[in-house]
Amino acid sequence: MKKENSTLLRKLVSYSALAAPIIAGTTNANGQIVYTNVEPDAVVQKNGGNYALDLDGDSNTDFLIQIYDTISSKNHIVRQVYAIPYPGNSIAASTNGTSYVYPLAFNAGDVIDAKKDWSTFSSQYMATFVGTNPGGDLLATYGNWYNVKDKYLGLRVTAGNGLLYGWARLDVTANKDSVYFIVKDYAYQSIADSGIVAGDMGPAGVGIASVENHHARIFTFEKQVYISSPSAKGTMNIQVFNLAGQQVKALSTDKNEYQFSLADLPGGLYLVTVGQDGAMVTRKVSLR
């Protein structure tokens, strides 16, 4: 990067740190992503334990995530985490060609929208461990959520005449010793029939986090996007999405400071997602 651009970048980083809390504090009026932080994280770890998720905040449970921990009729240890969509709602999932349905485990930055496969099946198996009894020697595992951390569950709820898309971030563990899951946060796109990016918390959610709790800062100046990630290591993967959930750019760099142009895109709001060093941050940017 040229010296003059590095100087400008440092100035904009300083401005961004001051401006982000102000931006974050005003997004509720026009924000489209409604974000909920589960604090403290909800840890569920016994047979029959569950978490009732009200995605859109209307005081009605939309999804139930539950634990099943038992000895089967074949004398096998069965430890399982499964999800139940309530009537009218669905989960992004895959099947194995039979009656078994497995919710997908999205990565941060993946688009969750109508193009995914959705299932209303009443019991969807996130993760299953089957082992010998006694001993717990592994016999089989099933599901896309088997022993994962910080993955995203794709969710869809019916609201009026439209559909709201959302995500929930969880850790899931199922092994010979235990079975449990942790619900960390969730969000939904309040514009009906519009997709959402997994991990997008909206400006109110990510504005402060990107300054205080995350290594990356993202901001725009004259249709240039500037990214500063001084403490991170490894390749920086960058994705740009429009508000319809369509990816319009994908870039990568090994630099910790990077800039690129959005001058070829029409004016409007975009989501810039940066993944690096095992973490992810998303910011909305405006092109005039």
> Residue 215's pLDDT band (boundaries 50, 70, 90)?
low
* Last residue in a domain, options 162, 193, 224: 193
- Gyration radius from the chain CA atoms: 21
pLDDT at residue 206 in the model: 39
Phi/psi at 60 (5° precision): -120, 135
Verify that 16 and 56 share a domain, yes or no.
no
Q: What is the pLDDT of residues 107-143, one digit of tens each?
A: 888 889 999 999 999 999 999 999 999 888 999 999 9
Verify that 54 and 177 share a domain, yes or no.
yes
Verify that 21 and 46 share a domain, yes or no.
no
**Residue 208 lies in domain:** 3-30+200-287
Which has the closest alpha carbon to 158: 56, 279, 258? 56
Verify that 23 and 120 share a domain, yes or no.
no
Verify that 93 and 184 share a domain, yes or no.
yes
Question: What mean pLDDT comes out for the span 79-106?
Answer: 93
Verify that 92 and 119 share a domain, yes or no.
yes
Please tell me the pTM assigned to this model: 0.64
Report d(CA 279, CA 143) in Å as an integer: 24
Check: CB of residue 259 under 8 Å from CB of residue 220. no
Please count the structural domains in the chain.
Answer: 2
Residue type, 201: M
Phi/psi at 28 (5° precision): -60, -25
Report d(CA 59, CA 226) in Å as an integer: 40
Verify that 181 and 99 share a domain, yes or no.
yes
* Last residue in a domain, options 139, 171, 193: 193
Verify that 87 and 184 share a domain, yes or no.
yes
In this predicted structure, the answer to whether residue 222 has a pLDDT above a threshold of 60 is yes
Share of the chain residues as helix, strand and coil, in percent rounded to the nearest 5:
15, 50, 35
Least confident residue range of 42-51, 87-96, 97-106, 239-248 = 239-248
Q: What is the pLDDT of residues 30-84, one digit of tens each?
A: 248 888 989 899 999 999 999 999 999 999 999 999 999 999 999 999 999 999 9
Q: What is the DSSP letter of 143?
A: S
Residue type, 258: Y
Which has the closest alpha carbon to 144: 104, 203, 188? 104
Alpha-carbon distances, residue 184 vs 35, 51, 172, 221 (angstroms)? 11, 11, 11, 33
pLDDT at residue 203 in the model: 57
Report d(CA 124, CA 94) in Å as an integer: 10
Check: CB of residue 63 under 8 Å from CB of residue 86. yes
* Last residue in a domain, options 193, 221, 237: 193
As a dihedral over the C-alpha atoms of residue 189, residue 190, residue 194, residue 198, rounded to 10 degrees, the angle is 0
The CATH number of whichever domain residue 231 belongs to comes to 2.60.40.3080
Verify that 173 and 219 share a domain, yes or no.
no
- Tokens 């589960």 locate to 38
Report d(CA 144, CA 148) in Å as an integer: 9
Verify that 21 and 37 share a domain, yes or no.
no
Mean of per-residue pLDDT scores for the chain: 82
Verify that 11 and 40 share a domain, yes or no.
no
Which of helix, strand or coil describes residue 255? coil
Verify that 167 and 56 share a domain, yes or no.
yes
Q: Helix H segments across the chain?
A: 3-25, 202-212
